[in-house]
Structure 1
Amino acid sequence: MASEYMKEAGHKAIADGPAAMRTFIETDQHRIRLDDYRIAIIRLLHSAGPSLEEGIKGFLKTDGRTLADLRHFYEVTQHKLRDIDNRVEIARLANTAGPALKEAVKKALLGTPADRIAFLEKGRHIAQAEDDRAELARIDEGWDGPILSEAISKLLNGSPTPAELRHFLEVTQHELRDQDNRVEIAQIIDGGGPELVKAGRAALAGTPADRAAFLLTGQHEARKKDEKAQQEKDKNDGKNDDSSDDKGDDKSDGRTDQDDAGAGAGNDDEKNTGTGTGNTAMTPQSGSGTQLASTGAGDTPMIAGGAGAALIGGAGLLLAARMRRQASGN
């Protein structure tokens, strides 16, 4: 425990002679040693946990501490208080630990103070690395993005340190996950509706949280808006088509009511005569233009089915015979 100050004072006493050496041995060394222990105890505060820090402050506040008191605190009490802090720290790790780290925590808490020190210095990182490997494999299995999956495979197939595994989980995986999200959003909005494209572009220009939210819920909300707009458009287009059809029906093919009446009459005659011509009037070959509407046996027109057609045909033969006779007489 000889500090530099103690060494310097001892060398000076030797150089000053027997009286100075006697004074150093009987008085000065004890005073200097008290100061050295106090300084050493104060320095413990830099790495102290709550229990050790409280113990140091309480110890130094008490006056009249002897050299034996200081030595005992430094050599015994500080280690007991430090082990209390170590236990608390180890137990805290178990709250978020994976299977491997939890098992290591149990062993450390049941072990010696030296076991707990070794666990905090090295054992915890080894156990954490085992859990980190399992977590990375789980992420790879449940993630479809190629960028993150490729990076995980490359990392696990190498020889990463515990620190590299931890950094990948805490930092790198989130950066690569966002890159995969960007690619997926770009694919989703390609050829999408107006609302989907608008929301996708806003997500691409936003934060990683914005992109994750778009993929989780935003894209579905935007699609619903596009579907609703399309339904409204289809509905309005259908109304416009119905209106055009109504106008076409009203105008028909441009014929007047009179034309329709004439066509109706012709249709009726066509149905009654069976000739399909739509007209029963016959013009004589002389071109007199006189319409023959009867047989000469009365004034009742013959329009009853096949019998009427036969009678009309007979009248035509009679007329033709008379005309031949007249021609021969002349």
Structure 2
Amino acid sequence: MKFSRIAAAVTTAALAPAVLIASPAFADGPGAPDAGHQPATTTPDQSVPDQAEEDRKTILAIIAHPMASEYMKEAGHKAIADGPQAMRKFIEVDQHKIRLDDYRIAISRLTADAGPGLKEGINKLLSGKHDIDMLRHFYEVTQYELRDDDNRVEISRLIGTGGPAVKEAGKKALKGTPADRAQFLKTGRFLAQASDDRVELSRIDESWDGPILSEAIGKLLNGSPTPAELRHFLEVTQYELRDQDNRVAIAKIIDGGGPELVKAGRAALAGTAADRTEFLKTGQHEARAKDQAAKDKAAKDKPTPGKDGQDQGNGSGTGSGAAATGNTATTAQGHTGAPLATTGAGDGTTLIAGGAGTALVAGAGLLLAARMRRAGAQR
């Protein structure tokens, strides 16, 4: 009996520490965590660190996208630096707001090189209600469809105004793919235009008489000009050289010309290139006509020899023929140049003068005869 009591006491003493440690009374002792905040199990929970790492990788992929703007990249890096909650907010909220603005900006920039159809599509989209999916589809799909429509219209216009080479290449592009049409407008049209420009320059050389322009065309075609150089020559240089040839031609025309021709030619040389072209086309002929008219008028006003002229040639110093020869005064022959006065007495004056002369001669003869008789008597 005593032995059994002793055995029970020993057993109780051995189990007491374990029971006390596991009992609620011990758990609620000083320093114990509240209910619901028990210490973690011996195996740690890795869910939070794993989610943060996944969010970080997601943000890095977002900001590496070609469509990511500088603002998107800046916001993403800031979220990573601010920790898990900031990264989760960026992924769920911020990135979508920023992406919406990025697409709006990117689509607006398309108008810089857009045709009429694409510009109209952009204005219609941005002025109406839209979401991120609509913006993304427009940027990735619709813009290219509208660009191709505009390219078709532009190629058709070039075919209508271009030369043979441009027409042929343009029609081929219209039958091809959108990429073919884009390539034609980017480079093909210029290569085709260069072929047409060479033909046009050869035609100009054959039809132009001026040496300056012809020499420049020959030098250009014998070289290795680029399509841009050929186009610039046709659109700019040829007109500068034409004007130089025109100046030389005008200088030759007015050299030794009549007054009106010289006057009109000098005015053209002092004017514009258009003035010089107009002078060579019509102005020189109008000026020549004026000079010829002046010559004809001068010839018509000049008197022709008549009967009066013939009488004057027979020695008569009076009459209309003598007066028509110019501002020459009629004077009596043998006198000092003073004209005889006309008194209206006709030839009476001349007769009286003649009678007086005869009387003087007769008196002198009688005086000489008397002297001779006296001399004979004295002998």
Instruction: Tell me, yes or no, whether TM beats 0.5.
Output: yes
Whether 1:174 and 2:239 are equivalent positions in the alignment is yes
Distance in 1, matches of 2:103 and 2:263, equals 70
Query: Helix, strand or coil for the counterpart of 1:242?
Result: coil
2:209 aligns with one of 116, 126, 144: 144
CA distance in 2, matches of 1:4, 1:134: 51
Distance 1:254 1:38, change over 3 A: closer
Distance in 2 of aligned mates of 1:28 and 1:235:
102
Tell me the distance in 2 between the aligned counterparts of 1:242 and 1:131.
Answer: 69
User: Counterparts of 1:133-212 in structure 2 under 5 Å?
Assistant: 133-212=198-277
Task: Using structure 2 for the length normalisation, give the TM-score.
Answer: 0.63
The corresponding residue for 1:35 is 101
* Rounded Cα–Cα distance in structure 1 between residues aligned with 2:238 and 2:316: 75
State the distance in 2 between where 1:9 and 1:205 align.
Answer: 68
Give the Cα separation in 2 of the matches to 1:251 and 1:117.
96
Equivalent in 8, 16, 21 of residue 87 of structure 2:
21
The change in CA–CA distance for 1:253 and 1:117 in structure 2 (over 3 A counts) is: same
- Distance in 2 separating the partners of 1:6 and 1:254: 121
Please state how far the C-alpha of 1:234 moved relative to its aligned partner.
Answer: 2.1
In the alignment, the residues of structure 1 paired with residue 292 and residue 152 of structure 2 have an alpha-carbon distance, to the nearest angstrom, of 60
Match of 1:121 in 2: 186
The Cα of 1:251 is off from its aligned counterpart by: 6.9
1:214 matched to 2:279? The reply is: yes
Change over 3 Å in CA distance of 1:76–1:247 after alignment to 2: same
Q: 1:8 — aligned with what?
A: 74
**1:248 Cα deviation (Å)?**
3.0
* Alignment match of 1:57 (pick from 90, 99, 123): 123
One of 302, 306, 314 as aligned partner of 1:252: 314
SS of structure 2 residue aligned to 1:188 = helix
Equivalence for 2:41: none
TM-score under structure 1 length normalisation: 0.72
Q: Which residue of 2 aligns with 1:289?
A: none
1:104 is displaced (CA, Å) by 1.3
SS at match of 1:221: helix
Matched, 1:242 2:305: yes
Residue deviations 1:234-280 (CA, integer Å, cap 9, x gap): 2223xx2325x52332673459xxxxxxxxxxxxxxxxxxxxxxxxx
Distance 1:20 1:156 in 2: 68
Give the unaligned 5+ runs of structure 1. 256-330
The alpha-carbon distance between structure 1 residues 33 and 250, as it changes in their structure 2 partners (threshold 3 A), is closer
Give 1:90's aligned residue. Answer: 155
Residue identity opposite 1:133 in structure 2 = R
Amino acid at match of 1:242: P
Q: Distance in 2 between matches of 1:31 and 1:235?
A: 98
Work out the CA distance in 2 between the residues paired with 1:17 and 1:124: 56
Q: Over aligned residue pairs, what C-alpha RMSD do you find?
A: 1.7
Q: Which moved more, 1:122-131 or 1:29-38?
A: 29-38
Partners of 2:226 and 2:133 lie apart in 1 by 46
Deviation at 1:79, TM superposition (A): 0.8
Identity between Structure 1 and Structure 2 (%) = 71
Count residues with an aligned counterpart: 251
Q: Which runs of 5+ in 2 are unaligned?
A: 1-66, 318-379
Opposite residue 8 of structure 1, the aligned amino acid is E
Of residues 174, 186, 200 in structure 2, which corresponds to 1:109?
174
Q: Equivalents in 1 of 2:86, 2:264: separation in Å?
A: 88
- Residues 251, 144 of structure 1: alpha-carbon distance in 2 compared, 3 angstrom cutoff: closer
Distance in 1 of aligned mates of 2:123 and 2:316: 111
Structure showing greater Rg? 2
Q: Distance in 1 between matches of 2:234 and 2:189?
A: 16
